[in-house]
Amino acid sequence: MKHLTEEDLIAYACGDMSREGLDATKAHLDTCSLCADGVIEARSILEGMERLPIVPPPAFAWSRLQARVQATSQPGGAPDEPRWLALALAHVGAVLAAATLIVASGAWLSSSELWAALAQIPAARALGPTGATALCFFGIGTLASLALTPALWWESRSTSRGR
């Protein structure tokens, strides 16, 4: 005995079947509890879908979608908005993480013996432990950026050429 396919079950539950198909399906359902259960399940799923509320999209989503469709239909391709947003969020996250690190390191430094030695230097004393730590991080960050610049430049060059 061949069982009904998922498509058959859904078509039957929707009442979307040809006359012959309907007769054969009914005959099978009279003898097969497995497929009859399948029809009940399909009906409950369809009813659940009908009960789902239709939520209109917010206005800004529509205008953004339109802008996206327009940009995609142009030869230039889709805008890099999500990538740009991810980059901005990553940047904000990195800045917050750095600020937290600086404050925590400054707190550690102020209670360490290293600060007792550094405080002998007037410039370090003027900056305070947090300021000195921040300056230190900015120095490291600047050096790291300079070191990474050729790699970033190369990466952006190959990305724009690939598109």
For the chain, the 3-state helix, strand and coil shares in percent, each to the nearest 5, are 80, 0, 20
Interaction mask 94-133, Zn ion, x per CB under 5 A:
----------------------------------------
- Which CB sits closer to Zn ion, 2 or 161? 2
Q: Is 26 in the site for Zn ion (CB under 5 A)?
A: no
Give me the least distance between CB of 38 and Zn ion, in Å please: 8
- Which CB sits closer to Zn ion, 39 or 71? 39
Give me the least distance between CB of 17 and Zn ion, in Å please: 15
Q: Are the beta carbons of 129 and 109 closer than 8 angstroms?
A: yes
Q: Quick one: which of 4, 84, 65 has its CA closest to 37?
A: 4
Among 24, 32, 119, 127, binds Zn ion (CB under 5 A): 32
The DSSP-derived string for 11-75 is HHHHT---HHHHHHHHHHHHH-HHHHHHHHHHHHHHHHHHHS--PPPPHHHHHHHHHHHHHHHST
Using the rule CB under 5 A, give the single segment among 26-34, 46-54, 80-88, 101-109 that binds Zn ion: 26-34
* Structure tokens, 87: 């980059």
* Structure tokens, 114: 């290293």
Q: Is 29 in the site for Zn ion (CB under 5 A)?
A: no
- Which CB sits closer to Zn ion, 35 or 102? 35
Q: What whole-number distance in Å separates Cα of residue 25 and Cα of residue 38? A: 12
Give me the least distance between CB of 14 and Zn ion, in Å please: 18
Query: Where do contacts with Zn ion occur on this chain (CB under 5 A)?
Result: 3, 32, 34-35
